[in-house]
Amino acid sequence: MPFDLNALRAQFPALVSRKIPKHTLFFDGPSGSKVPQRVVNAMVDYLENFSANFGGHFYCSAQTHDIVSHARMAAATLLNAPHSDNIVFGANMTSLTFTLSRAIAQQWQPGDEVIVTQADHYANVSPWQQMAQERGATVHKAPLDLTTAGVDVAQILSLITPRTRLIAVTAAANVTGTITPLDEIISAAKAVGAQVYVDAVHCVPHRLLDVTALGCDYLVCSNYKFFGPHLGIAYIANPWLESLTPSRISPAPNHGPSRFEMGTQSFEALAGLSASIDYLAQWGESHVSLRKQLEQSFDCYATHEAKLTCHFLERLAALDGVTLYGIKDSNMARRTPTFALSFDSCNASELASALGQRQICTGSGHFYAPDVIDVIGLSQKGGVLRIGCMHYNTLEEISQLFDVLELLLRTR
């Protein structure tokens, strides 16, 4: 199917809802995307017709088992994992990372070293700091790249030693949208036997990742960031899937991904996950594999997001008294369509509030990446105004946003 933006937008209840003020503009995608109708339908269908737990000798229990299996296969395809067993589910990325960090850190010794970065959301910082403190390991924090407001690869490489046990790094900075070139980091980590834990929460909605090609040990993301329900997803590479010893109750399964999944999963969310991946693949040719459909569809999304980015930057260039942090051009190999801004005449919170009163949804603050805000000197000024585009946004919406911004800034 040829990419059709109008047909795509019609799939989102929030974009046509009568319950939301008319002409609402959604530029808060980095905080959580809108959800297409098929995802809602899949979740409701499960709850209305099949809600049951594992282990029953009856139809609804069997359906629940199938829904979980299908969700693992769909997530494995999205990330190009070797097998569906490499996929683990949890409440969210943060919970999964705390759970996995306890298992990963069990073999750390005093004097071992861990590398985190100033560019990361603290869900990929705090768990490692806490486990390092427990195990007597040393944490090194790689400084922010001041040019890109993202990960400084050279600084990470300079910190790697034979004692490095793990590198925790984002695939794309959630404040500024700067994409991390992961290949060099992963290659250097492998050279000293270190593991790499990738936070892909911000990246997955905008770029089709391939964990097999990357060679990372772990990768985590959240479905609510890519058109699905609140659900965390983790990829665990084969060497660690069985060798780690996760916290678990003794009667629970101790083989495969279930070892890491504490308690009953949100089966309705897993039904929604599969539907969200089907949604993402919809612009691919029907006769090819799901992975190929995703590749073809993400090419469409990338082309559209590049147009959005170009238009955003063109309109931004006409504004006085504004600073953009991160990549300054529209090279989509280096950035997502997420923009971190500060303004000479007002702080981010004031502007976000004024935009919100006009039904324009944005975000302000540090977005759980306080080091970024500290380094760029905005901690005392309310952080940045973050404007994030998703592939359901339009060029016209960006024009409307800037028309309002220009009006607001003229009155301050």
Identify which of 389, 381, 399, 4 has the alpha carbon closest to the alpha carbon of residue 206. 389
118's CB contacts (< 8 A; 6+ apart) are: 141, 142, 143, 144, 371, 372, 375
Q: What is the pLDDT of residue 98?
A: 97
pLDDT at residue number 74 = 98
Report pLDDT for 301.
Answer: 98
Q: What is the pLDDT of residue 131?
A: 98
Judge whether 170 and 180 are in contact, CB under 8 Å: yes
Domains and CATH numbers, the chain: 5-36+291-411 (3.90.1150.10), 41-280 (3.40.640.10)
Q: Answer whether 359's CB lies under 8 Å from 24's CB.
A: yes
Residue 407, Ramachandran bin (φ over 0: left; ψ between -120 and 50: alpha; else beta): alpha
Name the residue among 122, 121, 182, 124 with its Cα closest to residue 153: 182
So what's the pLDDT on residue 401? Answer: 98
Give CA 368 to chain center in angstroms: 13
Q: What is the pLDDT of residue 249?
A: 84
Q: What is the pLDDT along the chain (412 residues), one digit of tens a residue?
A: 789 999 999 999 999 988 888 889 999 999 999 999 999 999 999 999 999 998 899 999 999 999 999 999 999 999 999 999 999 999 999 999 999 999 999 999 999 999 999 999 999 999 999 999 999 999 999 999 999 999 999 999 999 999 999 999 999 999 999 999 999 999 999 999 999 999 999 999 999 999 999 999 999 999 999 999 999 999 999 999 999 999 888 888 888 899 999 889 999 999 999 999 999 999 999 999 999 999 999 999 999 999 999 999 999 999 999 999 999 999 999 999 999 999 999 999 999 999 999 999 999 999 999 999 999 999 988 999 999 999 999 999 999 999 999 999 998 7
Per-residue model confidence (pLDDT) at position 411: 86
Q: How much is the CA Rg of the chain, to the nearest whole Å? A: 21
- Round to whole Å and give the CA distance between 394 and 305: 9
- Tell me the C-alpha distance between 208 and 81, whole Å: 12
